[in-house]
Chain A
């Protein structure tokens, strides 16, 4: 950042204000709600920054961004994954115009739950949505098309891609803010780090490098798992480690930062904060952590325990990270654009 406000004074009026942009691509809107959940501190953000682009909140438009000199925006917080050429265009545009580009939230960071669509392709998704869903009445087998001629003229729709991509599979990214969505307190921490010029090394995840287990108050002993249980099969003890009780809690491999919110309400961590530093593939890390917790040295028994207790390995190990994983997606037939 070229225009750093004075340290420890987030609203120093004599300092030039930084320029902030926020954008959403393919996302659910939860990241925006989480930004708003910093509540009255949003006024501090407005005092410290000129918010030059935030479609959800201010009037600047894409043309305004296009007119900006390159590097004009100091920090861009970009949420949502990339599924259409339009989103791809916005990612390239905001990369060019921003000194610092932050992949904000799980979709931009890892593809998130909608990234599980990479187990299918466009054809399969269309067939399910427009032909197979049982309340759909579509005898003429109509499906949405990029171009439709109606009596009055031609209507256009964007092309739907085969694959969900993360932001850094599209453009270079400087920082990552994990979580689905990032907790409001962590968003505020990141904003303070930006204001105080205390960002970590470029390429880093902004956050702590410990696991959810480290901030979970439950009692842990040695893990000796004999069988995995589904959440509907057991009422867990509220004070003991959920994994030790046989529930597939992802906390063991998931970055801390949420305050172990899900274990707090007696639900296993589902892994939305993604992996810790130095872990390339969340699913591999989680699988190896679980394997070492299984109370058996017999490979066949280990296989059986996993097969019986974890019927959906992709959905369980890559719930949030399939698009960012070493797998990325199910293989496409032919020359798909998905990889």
Chain B
């Protein structure tokens, strides 16, 4: 990765590096608030279920987008990921599918990049603890996914 002006981990203001990343420590990221930007459904993927003659299965899946909550200030942190509705514990639940897309580069205690792969892995784990499902279901039920995607 080319050299870029790293964000001072202690600095209160986020800046955009020349390579497009926003650099900060994971600990600082955990203290930020994210705002739901938009969510929506993928195009329907319907296929025949070979185990049940005449039946078909439908996969409900979609996307969700989140940004740092100091809108409309730039630069904005952006994180988005795919989700699918799956049966779990007798009910239906949204689960993330695939690692998230984002513009973050986490820094270690010495202010060095941890790398894109490690940053994405940290975000993937963080998503397990972040309560995003209710916002997604609300947005999808309201059927206004794209209209809210203005910033």
* Bound pair (A, B): no
